[in-house]
Amino acid sequence: MNTAVTPAVATPGSRRSWRAVLRTAAEPWLYLSPALIFIMLVMLVPLVIGISYAFQAISLMNPLESGWVGLANFEALYEDRKFWKSLKNTAYWTIASVFFQFFLGLGLALLLNHGFYGRRLVQALVFLPWAVPTFLSALTWAWLFNPVIGPLPHWLAAIGILSEPYNILSDPNIAIWGPIVANIWFGIPFFAITLLAALQSIPHDLYEAAAIDGASAWQGFIKITLPFLAPMIAITVMLRAIWVANFADLIFVMTGGGPANSTQIISTYIFTTAFRKLDFGYASAIAVVLLVLLLIYAAVLLRLRQSLRLVN
């Protein structure tokens, strides 16, 4: 009986169910569409347009010679000594800044994780660099390094780091340390706060168990604290490095990339190329290179983190 009835019903039934399947599949996308469209508009469109600039000649100085030029911008970039110098500076600036930001931030977090008198005050002060506009911080630091009004050159000379109190921002050999010091000051709170949060999430009884198992404070730090912090360290260092590599404000205000391009990093080079020379095509080409480098960096770090987790 059943077998006789089924074929007659099956055809319209299956067609209807096919449509129903399609509808259930489409329905979530319909609900997601506002968010998706918004993300496309806000992120994808500018990205694509920006990347497309890299393959065009768009210079406001030369409005007549605009149009697609293929890889010409990148070829020029390859020959550009200023580009290679700023790439090297970027690496130096990023590594030095993040290194000191991280270790000083970790130290501060460990300190704040212990109760001591006046801890709340210190904890509030830690946020201070975030309360000041970057522009003002940069100006203040520039003044601090200025021997006419700032104390730092005199102190540095007094402890023998400088031969005489001069402005390090005007010495091409060490000028980059001016913005780096400002950046360290600026970036410590980020590490201190995120690492403090991670520290506070470690159950206290693990340290007690370790103490009973015979661990010294240092062994407790190595065997318990660090493994617990590792994921947070990986993610914060990665994010921070990308952010610092792109962070042009301090350098731009303090040295403007000078003297003699000794503090020029990729992002300040992009900025000056685009908004001083008004060569948007070339600036986009540099930006695309920076993007690719950072993507590779992120991929490597994520892979590294995965393998670290497997080891543990």
Partner 1 sequence: MARIDIVDLCKRFGNIEVISNVNLSFEEGEFIVLVGPSGCGKSTLLRMIAGLESITKGDIIMNDQRVNDLPPRDRNIAMVFQSYALYPHMNVERNMGFSMEIKRTPPDTRRQHVDKAAAILGLGSLMERLPKALSGGQRQRVAMGRAIVRDPSAFLFDEPLSNLDAALRVEMRLEIARLHQRLGSTMVYVTHDQVEALTLADRIVVLDHGVVQQVGTPMELYESPANRFVARFIGSPTMNLIEVAMEDQQLTMKSTHSAIPLPALVGAESATQLGIRPEHLEPMPAGKGHVQGEVEVVERLGSDSFVYVQVPGAGRLLSRCNGNTRLQAGEAVGLSLDPAHLHLFDEKGQALR
Using rule CB under 8 A, residue 308 touches partner 1:
no
State the burial class of residue 191 (Cβ atoms within 10 Å of its Cβ: 0-12, 13-18, 19+): buried
**Adjacent-strand bridge partners of 68:** 56
Using rule CB under 8 A, residue 208 touches partner 1:
yes
Using rule CB under 8 A, residue 215 touches partner 1:
yes
The pair of three-digit structure tokens given for residue 18, joined into one six-digit string: 């096919």
Instruction: Give the whole-angstrom CA distance, residue 252 versus residue 280.
Output: 18
Closer residue to partner 1 (CB): 151 or 203: 203
Closer residue to partner 1 (CB): 51 or 206: 206
**3-state class (DSSP) for residue 165:** coil
The stretch among 26-34, 62-70, 200-208, 246-254 that binds partner 1 (CB under 8 A) is 200-208
**3-state class (DSSP) for residue 312:** coil
Using rule CB under 8 A, residue 85 touches partner 1:
no
Closer residue to partner 1 (CB): 2 or 307: 307
Using rule CB under 8 A, residue 270 touches partner 1:
no
Using rule CB under 8 A, residue 227 touches partner 1:
yes
Using rule CB under 8 A, residue 216 touches partner 1:
yes
Using rule CB under 8 A, residue 233 touches partner 1:
no
The stretch among 61-69, 143-151, 202-210, 232-240 that binds partner 1 (CB under 8 A) is 202-210
Degrees to nearest 5, angle at CA 152 with 182 and 186: 15
Closer residue to partner 1 (CB): 184 or 229: 229
Q: Residue 209 CB, nearest distance to partner 1 (Å)?
A: 4
Residue ranges of E strands in 132-221 = none
Q: Residue 222 CB, nearest distance to partner 1 (Å)?
A: 10
**3-state class (DSSP) for residue 61:** coil
Degrees to nearest 5, angle at CA 53 with 52 and 58: 150
Backbone φ/ψ region at 261: left (φ over 0), alpha (ψ -120 to 50), beta:
left
Q: Residue 206 CB, nearest distance to partner 1 (Å)?
A: 6
Using rule CB under 8 A, residue 292 touches partner 1:
no
The correct pick among 28, 63, 70, 214 for binding partner 1 (CB under 8 A) is: 214
The correct pick among 51, 174, 206, 237 for binding partner 1 (CB under 8 A) is: 206
Using rule CB under 8 A, residue 224 touches partner 1:
yes
Distance set, CA 10 to CA 13, 19, 144, 185, 219 (Å): 5, 14, 84, 73, 71
Using rule CB under 8 A, residue 213 touches partner 1:
yes
Burial code (b: 16+ CB inside 10 Å, e: under 16) for 29-55 equals: eeeeeeeeeeeeeeeeeeeeeeeebbb
In terms of Cα–Cα distance, which of 286, 97, 88, 94 is closest to 187? 97
Using rule CB under 8 A, residue 210 touches partner 1:
yes
The stretch among 159-167, 208-216, 259-267, 300-308 that binds partner 1 (CB under 8 A) is 208-216
Closer residue to partner 1 (CB): 88 or 309: 309
Using rule CB under 8 A, residue 307 touches partner 1:
no
Count how many residues are written for the chain.
Answer: 312
Which residues of the shown chain bind partner 1 in the complex (CB under 8 A)?
A: 203, 205-206, 208-216, 219, 223-224, 227-228, 312
